[in-house]
Amino acid sequence: MPNSCGAGNVIPMTKQQKRSLKIIFFTVFLDLVGFGIILPLIPYLAREFSASPLEIGFLMAIFSFMQFLFSPLWGTLSDRFGRRPIILISLLGAVFAYVFFAMARDLYLLFIARALAGFFAANISAAQAYIADITPAEKRSVGMGLIGAAFGLGFILGPAIAGITGPIGESLGSEPPFGIQFSALVAAGLNLINLILAFFLLPETIHNREKKAKPLHASRWESLTFVFKHDVLRSLFIIFFLMSLSMALMEVMVFPFVQDRFQWDYKLASLSFAYVGVIMVLTQGYFIRKWIPHYGEKKVLWFGIVAMMISYFGIGLSSMIPALAIAMTILAVGNGCMRPPIVGLASVITNDQEQGYVMGVMNSMGAVGRIVGPVAGGWFYQEMGQGAPFYASGVLALLGLILYAATFAKLPNPQLKKA
């Protein structure tokens, strides 16, 4: 399965493959706009239903718990039946989940809506495998950077749309939560448009592969054990988990944090989150394309981890808005420099036939972090103070940095092979 020889026999990208890369980027982008609309609204809507910080943590965690359970399954199904049908199914499921979110009238129904959204959150694994299908090894991290750029663009337009449509919804509804839930209906509409466009425009990428071959591993846990026997891939997975856990501790509680410390409402918080998306887009959509070919994945990843660690402590210590803005800017740059290289490196040392599966397992590792992180962040915030979740995130990033230092010499550097 994993190997240290790179991606193997990869043909240069054709015009059709380049076109497919643009289409999958646009598909992921629209999906993440919907996700970006919902994310900053969840803590505020939960508080409308009298949720505590710990309950908010559990609400955020249920999405990732379902994603953890089902992401490898979706990834394996995409290896077996093709990327396209899995992406279409996930988009259809997202439409239903957002509508359910908009209809929720208590915390219990909100939990069900987020569980449905997590179950259908298959398209990122399939999209990563899709990119791996059509990009050569030396372009893999840059290709994965398109996913990061889609995240960033989604986090620009999504929260901005939430900040704009929320007041429109408030003017239409008689109860305060309706503005938030009206934005969820907008997210559902965008995903419906995305589903229609993907149905007509998104081509399949594995026509020449035997789609109905049996899975290469007997069970999920057996496969996970097999993956972890590869020491370099295991280290990357653990680092990815630690960084995902640190991010989850931070991002869930940052909205109660700015509400309690700076008295921001969901509209202002959504627009500030859009600013973070701008920095992520600049980093992953432009700068990382310059930095990776020049410095290589390994150094860029090192910088990303260090920047994230510094930013976490900065957020927790911030008592003025300018200090918070600087820390969040550093965090956005660091996250943009962490995700594409680590995913790209894992892809390069994985055989072509199991790209979808490995991407699914890696996303499951991230999902574990996003399961534990929100709950732990809610507990830290509730029991130990407003800054505690951010300090804990900084410590986790430090642990990731130590492990990465121990693994650094063993990692390939495909971007520099032809320098």
Task: Round to whole Å and give the CA distance between 326 and 260.
Answer: 19
DSSP letter, residue 216? S
* pTM across the whole model: 0.74
> Residue 99 is which amino acid?
V
pLDDT, residue 219, reads: 55
Range of weakest confidence among 134-143, 294-303, 379-388: 134-143
With cut-offs at 50, 70 and 90, classify the pLDDT of residue 18. Answer: confident
- Residue-wise pLDDT tens digits, 244-283: 999 988 888 988 999 899 988 877 888 888 888 788 778 8
What integer pLDDT is reported at residue 419 of this predicted model? Answer: 40
Provide the pLDDT for residue 2.
47
| Residue from 95, 100, 91 nearest 121 by CA | 91
Question: What is the rounded distance in angstroms from the CA atom of residue 62 to the CA atom of residue 69?
Answer: 11
Average the pLDDT over each of 179-183, 188-192, 280-284, 375-379 and give the range with the smallest value: 179-183
Q: What is the distance between the alpha carbons of residues 128 and 357, in angstroms, rounded to a whole number? A: 10
In one-letter notation, the amino acid at residue 367 is A
Report yes or no: 104 and 113 within 8 Å, Cβ to Cβ.
yes
Is residue 250 classed as helix, strand or coil in its secondary structure?
helix
| Termini Cα distance of the chain | 28
Mean pLDDT, residues 231-248 = 89
pLDDT at 417 over 50: no
Which residue has better confidence, 41 or 147? 41
Is pLDDT larger for residue 153 or for residue 257? Answer: 257
Q: What number is the average pLDDT over the span 4-24?
A: 63
Closest CA to 342 of 396, 275, 280, 288: 288
Which residues have CB under 8 Å from 108's CB, separation 6+?
none
Q: Could you give the 3-state DSSP secondary structure of residue 350? A: strand
Q: Which of 40-54, 114-128, 144-158, 297-311 has the lowest mean pLDDT?
A: 144-158
Mean pLDDT of the chain: 81
What's the average model confidence in pLDDT over 289-302? 86
CB 285 within 8 A of CB 145: yes
**Which of these, 365, 70, 78, lies nearest to 245 by C-alpha position?**
365
Q: Assess whether pLDDT exceeds 80 at residue 63.
A: yes
Residue 164: CB partners within 8 Å, gap ≥ 6? none
Q: What is the pLDDT of residue 202?
A: 82
Percent of the chain with pLDDT over 70: 82
Mean pLDDT comparison of 65-69, 94-98, 143-147, 218-222, highest-scoring range = 94-98
Q: Which fold has domain 15-205+223-410?
A: Growth Hormone; Chain: A; (1.20.1250)
> Mean pLDDT, to the nearest integer, of 161-170?
77
- What would the two tokens of residue 221 be? 């846990």
Q: Is the pLDDT of residue 213 over 50?
A: no
**For residues 236 and 349, what is the distance between their CA atoms, to the nearest angstrom?**
11
Report the C-alpha gap between 143 and 145 in whole angstroms: 5
For the segment 301-326, the average pLDDT, to the nearest whole number, is 94
Asked whether the predicted pLDDT for residue 309 surpasses 90, the reply is yes
CB 76 within 8 A of CB 214: no
Q: What is the pLDDT of residue 65?
A: 87
For range 160-170, the mean pLDDT:
78
pLDDT on residue 234? 84
Q: Whole-angstrom Cα distance, residue 404 to residue 175?
A: 50
Per residue in 336-355, pLDDT tens? 899 888 888 887 777 666 66
Is 9's pLDDT higher than 50? no
Residue type, position 52, single letter:
S
